[in-house]
Amino acid sequence: MCGRYGIQSTERELLSRFDLTKIAEQIPMSFNVAPGATMPVVVKQSPNSLELMRWGLVPRWAKDLDHGLKTINARAETVAEKPMYRKLLGSQRCLVPASGFYEWQKTPKGKQPYWIRLKSEELFAFAGLWDTWHDPDGGELHTYTIITCAPNQLMEPIHNRMPVILRREDEESWLDPDTVESERSVPLLRPYSAGAMEAYPVSRAVNNPQNDGAKLVEPTSH
């Protein structure tokens, strides 16, 4: 799964990296993004648009917001089959910008958090889906989920799942509304190249979502 990630970037980097023309709102940054946080998400428009959405998908038919706590991730293997995600896969795909993510490895001393990123330390994008929920008063809430897949060789010793990191050349296809058929979009949901990634243990301070700052991603001993 993917239950925590981080994004640190400047507005200029985001504009350039995701082919945006402007950013209308101040973009939140965090080394410790937890479910329920409102974070930047790229959606396809003309040009691409950066929107702030809440992490944890609340489908439009949900009765309340509690549903989003259970849907921070969607499995790549079943995303084209489950009613909650099938329609979104056809028309409401998004990119979730990130600098890295955390995963916890089970050890005799307890769960050890790891920070996982690209070796280049560049921004990348998770494959995501989004939806709009309306409250009883008619207010709108945009929410998203991050798609996960089987682990690559780097991730396998740490955890049995990993978030789908899209190859940069596949990002536009993932956003493209003409890529409707699941036969075209689902093949993009595969493990990222292990050779292009790195992982190292970090402080258990990340376990508390209230903690933030660059110290969270500093290497530490087990």
- Nearest-angstrom CA–CA distance, 124 and 119: 11
Q: How far is CA 120 from the centre of its chain?
A: 19
Q: How far is CA 27 from the centre of its chain?
A: 16
Q: Hey, where are the domains in the chain?
A: 5-217
Report the catalytic residues.
Answer: 2, 103
On whether the CB atoms of residues 157 and 170 are closer than 8 A, the answer is no
Q: Which CATH number applies to 5-217?
A: 3.90.1680.10
The answer to whether the Cα torsion of 201, 203, 207, 212 is positive or negative is negative
Listed in sequence order, the residues at least 6 apart from 117 whose beta carbon sits closer than 8 Å to its beta carbon are 99, 100, 101, 197, 198, 199
Q: What is the pLDDT along the chain (222 residues), one digit of tens a residue?
A: 789 999 999 888 998 899 887 776 788 899 999 999 999 999 986 678 899 999 999 988 777 766 656 799 999 999 999 988 988 998 899 999 999 999 999 999 899 999 999 999 999 999 999 999 988 777 889 999 999 999 999 999 999 999 999 999 999 989 987 766 666 788 899 999 999 999 999 999 999 999 999 999 999 976
